[in-house]
Amino acid sequence: MVSKEVIVKSSTGLHARPATLLVKKASSFKSDISIEFDEKKANVKSLIGVLSLGVTKNAQIKISASGDDESLALEEIVKLLDSLEE
């Protein structure tokens, strides 16, 4: 398992559009990928799960990946989150 702390830079946090992009990206990997925020945890492949966390702009989140392609999955998810600067 690999994990990394990330600051959400998107002006809307992880709401509708950014969350959808995140779920699509995560779904392209075999690994289990989770997101933790404010002591809550959700599967990144679940749009409802990601939205239910209520992640806001400048929030610190933890992304974890476990599986065959965990390193690549984590790298790509972090890269996507960093690019969401609206």
Catalytic sites, residue numbers: 15
> Which letter does DSSP use for residue 43 in this model?
E
Q: What is the 3-state secondary structure (H, E, C) of the chain?
A: CEEEEEECCCCCCCCHHHHHHHHHHHHCCCCEEEEEECCEEEECCCHHHHHHCCCCCCCEEEEEEECCCHHHHHHHHHHHHHHCCC
